[in-house]
Amino acid sequence: MGERSTTGLFRPGVDPLGSAFAVLLALSLLILPLMTTRPNRIAAGSGLTAWSALPLGEALLLGGIVAVALPLLALRAAPLLRLVAAAATLLLLGLAAGWAADHLTAPGDRYGRVSPDAGWWLAFVTAALAVGDGLARLRPGPVLRIALLASLTTVTGLALRAGFWNNLSVLREYASRSDTFGRELRTHAGLALASVAAAAALGIPAAILGRPVPPLRTGLLATLNVVQTIPSMALFGMLIAPLAWIGREIPGAAALGIAGIGAAPAFVALLAYALLPVAAATVTGLDAVPWRVRDAARGVGMTARQRLFQVELPLALPAILTGIRIVLVQNIGLAVIAGLVGGGGLGVFVFQGISQNAGDLVLLGALPTVAMATGAAVLLDAVIDLSRGHAAERIP
């Protein structure tokens, strides 16, 4: 009974991590400016606190929710309470951005810009980390995590489609580039996914063949490790000349899109960066297969091929998927650099924004990239957990 009383909704004491979240939330919303207004996309802005940026009712609602959430985060509350408090704060911050943009934008003003300022970003990141902490403490299953991701994606998509945030500056940048945004988004996702798929198609068989032969295994991993040490900008640049020669001299290469600039150098560079994690994860996963499982498979008369495909690879699958997860998240971020070599993708907006000193245009490329990388990480983490469960069932 005594133990049960200490594991209810609250326990005595202060949660160190939650207290840090609470302090950051309080500082960001009480001291730092919540939103910035500018007369146009490149002019200097004026920061406004929550009480100035929001209508009175919405400001009171945000303040009330945060006032309730702060002690729930700081004290040793039940994980579910902490998660609800953090999620409510995160939701209110998203709503507050739309409310503030509508409140601060004059009717018919096509040039003014309203964007989140330091306080909003700090509060949003803090609330998102608190949500992640709450989920980690609750440890939901993989199916529930996928369902939560799908729900969040659906709600966000519906809000964007309804135009709730249309007066935010980043959405105004999108409105003027809506004809090209979808194409660049597809290009970005295609580069990341295709490079990872090619890395899996090349890296996994290479690791399987090289693993039993120590010199070959060492040489393979050492060579791929050298590629990882080359800075991304340097590797993209190094590929321009050889690919330009291939496109010019080899019949049919140009028709396939191989050239010194464009998607080809971007794809090859992303593929090169993806090979080492995939190959290393495959070797690690196969090395971790218990010897008693190998002996049992050999004892029932399985051939080497049967042991590989029916026993070893299924047990190594969680490790291989972990390597694929790493390179997918990595390549979604690295694909931004493709915009510098004519490869397209969301990096086009990032580098246009940098050259024009337009921060909101940078965000138009950066925010979807972060969202894709986060979604891919959550989805693959859930798939990895499911594969671990299936792998555990195979071990006698």
Tell me how far apart the alpha carbons of residues 215 and 218 are, in angstroms, rounded to a whole number. 5
DSSP 346-378: THHHHHHHHHHT-HHHHHHHHHHHHHHHHHHHH
Is pLDDT of 64 > 90?
Answer: yes
Residue showing tokens 């309080």: 26
As a whole number, the mean pLDDT across the chain is 88
pLDDT at residue 392 is higher than 70? no
Three-class SS state of 106: coil
- What is the mean pLDDT of the segment spanning 232-244? 79
Q: What is the pLDDT of residue 8?
A: 65
Mean pLDDT of 337-349: 87
Alpha-carbon gap, residue 140 to 151, rounded angstroms:
15
pLDDT at 26 over 90: yes
Q: How far is CA 114 from CA 101, 169, 217, in A?
A: 6, 5, 55
pTM above the 0.95 mark? no
- CA 271/CA 334 separation, integer angstroms: 11
By the 8 A CB rule, do 47 and 175 touch? Answer: no
For 285, other C-beta atoms within 10 Å of its C-beta total 23
So what's the pLDDT on residue 2? 39
What is the C-alpha separation between 49 and 33, in angstroms, rounded?
4
**What's the pLDDT at 5?**
40
Tallying the residues shown for the chain, one arrives at 396
* Domain annotation for the chain: domains and CATH numbers: 2-161 (no CATH), 178-394 (1.10.3720.10)
Residues 94-145 have pLDDT tens digits of: 999 999 999 999 888 888 889 999 999 999 999 999 999 999 999 899 999 9
Share of the chain above pLDDT 90, in %: 57
